């Protein structure tokens, strides 16, 4: 049985802050930079999905590895809009290159040995339960 839809934006910025270890200030900042796109309630409050949390953790890792904002933005492009049925447009040559870059980055993250000594791993471990299946 599939648990919560990973793209259901129901998390407040405060919760995401606790889940990722990122300050509320930085979460909003990364949005300003175009690294993420948040769903907004009628009251204009931000709402995030589990996918977004994973995205933030990836961003966090990349920044820790000193990737430039431009590289991160490119790797994570296009921004996945929560709740919106992500329609796959025409995969342009550029997008295909971006996918390769993203895979390259993820590969690096997988092989990184320093992960063992990292602090926030516990949070990610707990988060991983949402991704167990598949």
Q: Which residues bind to DNA, rule: CB under 7 A?
A: 12-15, 23-26, 28-29, 38, 43-46, 63
Residue among 64 and 96 whose Cβ is closer to DNA? 64
Q: How far is the CB of 17 from DNA (least distance, A)?
A: 7
Residue 39 parent element (H or E): strand 39-40
User: In Å, what is the CA distance from 13 to each residue of 2, 55, 73?
Assistant: 24, 14, 20
Residue among 23 and 126 whose Cβ is closer to DNA? 23
Hey, what are 127's tokens? 């988060």
Q: How far is the CB of 58 from DNA (least distance, A)?
A: 15
Q: Are 56 and 24 in contact (CB under 8 A)?
A: no
d(CA 8, CA 114): 32
Residue among 38 and 49 whose Cβ is closer to DNA? 38
Q: How far is the CB of 113 from DNA (least distance, A)?
A: 23
């Amino acid at each position: 049985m599939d648990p919560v839809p990973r793209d259901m934006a129901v998390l407040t910025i405060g919760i995401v802050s606790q889940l990722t270890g990122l300050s509320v200030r930085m979460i909003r900042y990364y949005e300003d930079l175009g690294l993420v796109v948040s769903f907004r309630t009628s009251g204009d409050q931000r709402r995030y999905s589990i996918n977004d949390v994973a995205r933030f953790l990836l961003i966090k890792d990349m920044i820790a590895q000193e990737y430039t904002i431009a590289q991160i933005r490119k790797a994570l492009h296009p921004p996945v809009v929560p709740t919106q049925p992500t329609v796959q447009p025409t995969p342009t040559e550029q997008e295909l290159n971006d996918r390769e870059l993203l895979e390259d980055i993820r590969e690096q993250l997988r092989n990184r040995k320093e992960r063992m000594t990292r602090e926030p791993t516990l949070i990610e471990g707990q988060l991983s339960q949402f991704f167990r299946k598949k």
